[in-house]
């Protein structure tokens, strides 16, 4: 218990910069005397921690102190290496200098337990190059100009202030402020046909306002599927959105954007989907199904 508290004191001081003994005593639910004994123990172990008297005094770490490998347990070292491996998205980080240096410093290796590759079959390098450019634009807050294939079939050029890359429903999206629409928008990476990172920087808007504005674009739809379609339903929807009926049918309630993609998505279920609401969506899908029939009948 004491060893765990000593680590936590170091982490707390690294995060806050300094703290008083009563503050630490209250946080870790021990006496002030115990805190001073802990500080002595840390100092004796080689951690450069000291107490400073005066009005602005307190317990501090030396300003140039860096967390030493000895402060981390073997399990924590493995978790850090595993976390780095789990972001193997745009490049093979398992061979990166960062991972090699940490493995050497920790004097441990880690199992290569996870691989994520978002690129399409036969299109690995272009997709990864696009991802890297967008990642850099997000980090350095640089606007991007994109040629985008819209859901209506048109291609348009837009300037976007990129905020984050989002993985949702088996696809990667760029979330950012569209200067043309003057609003937050989501752009599917596969539909970005060409792009250029601009020198123009930008100031991020309030994050909470972004989320509210974006989520407000979605309406709830209610769908019914027969039990034999369960394999596909659970592929596409979270179990919290699905209710199984006594007759085996599955009722799905989800918020989704009403656009050309949604129409195509619903049509992909064929006769196995019944749109319960909204009524106008049911009419649109039925009309599209009629057009498909007329175009393909012999």
pLDDT tens for the chain, 298 residues long, are 455 678 788 878 877 778 898 999 998 889 999 988 888 888 877 778 888 877 777 888 876 665 554 556 666 666 655 555 544 444 444 445 555 555 555 555 555 555 566 666 666 677 778 888 888 898 888 999 999 987 666 788 999 999 988 887 677 889 999 988 888 888 988 889 999 999 888 888 765 544 444 444 578 899 999 999 999 999 888 888 999 999 999 999 998 877 777 888 899 999 999 999 999 999 999 999 999 988 888 6
Beta bridge partners of 172: 167
Q: What is the largest CA-CA distance in the chain?
A: 92
Q: How far apart are CA 38 and CA 261, in angstroms?
A: 60
What does the pLDDT read at residue 217? 57
What does the pLDDT read at residue 119? 64
pTM above 0.75, yes or no: no
Which of these, 158, 146, 154, lies nearest to 183 by C-alpha position?
158
What does the pLDDT read at residue 207? 54
What does the pLDDT read at residue 212? 45
DSSP state of 228: G
> How does DSSP assign 80-112, residue by residue?
HHHHHHHT-SSS-GGGSHHHHHHHHHHT-----
What does the pLDDT read at residue 201? 87
Sort 10 into a burial class: Cβ within 10 Å, 0-12 / 13-18 / 19+: buried
Joined together, the tokens standing for residue 117 give 């590759």
174: left (phi over 0), alpha (psi -120 to 50) or beta: beta
Q: Name the E strands within the chain.
A: 18-19, 49-52, 58-61, 142-149, 155-168, 171-178, 183-188, 192-201, 219-225, 242-244, 250-256, 274-277
Owner of token pair 């019944």: 274
What does the pLDDT read at residue 82? 59
Q: In this structure, what are the phi and psi dihedrals at residue 61, rounded to the nearest 5 degrees?
A: -105, 155
């Amino acid at each position: 218990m004491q060893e765990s508290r000593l680590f936590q004191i170091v982490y707390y001081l690294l995060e806050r910069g300094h703290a008083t003994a009563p503050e630490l005593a209250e946080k870790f639910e021990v006496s002030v005397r115990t805190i001073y004994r802990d500080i002595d123990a840390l100092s004796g172990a080689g951690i450069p921690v000291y107490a400073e008297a005066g009005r602005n005094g307190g317990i501090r770490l030396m300003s140039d102190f860096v967390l030493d490998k000895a402060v981390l347990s073997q399990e924590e070292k493995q978790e850090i290496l595993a976390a780095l491996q789990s972001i193997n998205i745009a490049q093979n980080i398992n061979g990166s200098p960062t991972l090699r240096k940490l493995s050497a410093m920790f004097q441990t290796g880690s199992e290569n337990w996870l691989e994520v590759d978002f690129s399409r079959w036969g299109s690995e390098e272009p997709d990864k190059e696009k991802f890297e450019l967008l990642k850099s634009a997000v980090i350095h807050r640089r606007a991007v100009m994109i040629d985008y294939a819209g859901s209506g079939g048109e291609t348009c050029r837009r300037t976007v202030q990129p905020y984050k890359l989002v993985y949702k429903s088996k696809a990667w999206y760029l979330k950012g402020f569209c200067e043309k629409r003057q609003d937050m928008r989501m752009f599917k990476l596969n539909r970005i046909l060409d792009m250029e990172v601009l020198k123009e920087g930008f100031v991020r808007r309030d994050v909470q306002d972004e989320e509210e504005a974006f989520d407000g674009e979605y309406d709830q739809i209610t769908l019914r599927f027969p039990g034999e379609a369960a394999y596909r339903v659970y592929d596409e929807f979270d179990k919290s959105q699905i209710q199984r009926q006594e007759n085996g049918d599955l009722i799905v309630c989800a918020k989704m954007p009403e656009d050309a993609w949604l129409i195509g998505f619903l049509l992909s279920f064929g006769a196995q989907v019944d749109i319960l609401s909204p009524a106008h969506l049911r009419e649109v899908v039925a009309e599209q199904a009629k057009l498909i029939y007329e175009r393909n009948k012999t």
